[in-house]
Amino acid sequence: MNEEASAPAEKRSLDTLAAIGCSKVVAGLWRVREWNMSAALLKRYVQESMTLGVTTFDHADIYGGGEVEALFGDALTQTPSLRDRMQIVSKAGIRPRGSSAGAVRVKHYDTSRAYLQAAVERSLQRLKTDHLDLFLIHRPDHLANNDEIADAAESLIRQGKIRAFGVSNFTTRQFDSLRAKVPLATNQIEFSPFELQALDDDVFTGLSSASVSPMIWSALGGGRLFSETDELALLLRRELTTLAEKYNASSWVSIVYAWIFTLPCAPYLLVGSRRVESLQQALEGLRIGLSREDWYAILEAARGKPVP
């Protein structure tokens, strides 16, 4: 491993996402196939996003069975100069049945050195680029060999195939165990007012201690916040709407994003919508400074009971 990898982990993981230029709001592209966009329309979406300051785009090899990365690559070939002004994130390690990496009998996870290296090569080919700015292990692998993963990551960085390495959906112990072997830039975590496990399990506290910022996905609870029949969602929306008026926000959605950006772990936030307005709402949330009391008021409404 290189000299950086042999240094103490606490000295190696400071604000890597900022160092590689990631925008605080990240465009998540897992639903691109549902958007029914042509390469030309996707290119326009990318350009509009970048004009707003959203320059980071999140992928995974399993999104659309590889088709999402391929469509994005086709969009980039129309205006190659966009690549130098953006950051591309991709993930690998999940092998579903019907995988683009070859048929498998049972869905499983694969973080072997050979598989991770091959997965990066396939993503680069589909994206029509020579490097990923950030490469993540998509899910924890029960058969993971952390030394092997570290060797794969360091090799990919030395080859210039990736600029930084991280994980997604790891527990604190899983994150710390791998981080002892190789620098980790982030941990992509599901978090929303209806998914609070990262708070309850001290995942964010652990990341803060490591000076590593999480990337948050499914910030709107997978759409639950928009439900007209979910009583808790209705009560929470009422609180969010009141706060939107207080902070002169354009939407209660911006207050949800503000609530997440208030976390001391300095999160980055994925927005998976084809609507540029959704990115604008997230950017608005980044600028809103919620009071401590209002932050806890949202937590209380989300849990449906007083803060203990």
pLDDT tens-digit readout, 246-302: 999 999 999 999 999 999 999 999 999 999 999 999 999 999 999 999 999 999 999
Structure tokens at 101: 């990496």
Q: Could you tell me if 165 and 133 are in contact, meaning their C-beta atoms sit under 8 angstroms apart?
A: no
Helices (H), 262-304: 276-287, 292-303
| 62/57 Cα distance (integer angstroms) | 15
State yes or no: pLDDT of 7 exceeds 50.
no
**Per-residue confidence band for 101, with pLDDT thresholds at 50, 70 and 90:** low
Residues 99, 137: one domain? yes
Q: Could you tell me if 111 and 94 are in contact, meaning their C-beta atoms sit under 8 angstroms apart?
A: no
Q: What is the pTM of this model?
A: 0.93
Residues 78, 192: one domain? no
Residues 238, 209: one domain? yes
Residues 256, 141: one domain? no
State yes or no: pLDDT of 95 exceeds 50.
yes
Residues 133, 237: one domain? no
Q: Could you tell me if 170 and 139 are in contact, meaning their C-beta atoms sit under 8 angstroms apart?
A: no
Distances (CA, A) of 160 to 132, 134, 156, 227: 9, 11, 6, 45
Q: What angle do CA 151, 161, 22 make, to 5 degrees?
A: 105
Per the structure, the complete domain to which residue 234 belongs is given by: 187-302
Residue that finishes a domain, picked among 158, 185, 212: 185
Residues 67, 146: one domain? yes
Residues 23, 152: one domain? yes
Residues 140, 216: one domain? no
- 63: annotated active-site residue: yes
Active-site annotation holder among 45, 63, 247, 257: 63
Q: Is 25 helix (H, G, I), strand (E, B) or coil?
A: strand
Answer whether residue 275 is part of any domain. yes
Q: How many domains does the chain have?
A: 2
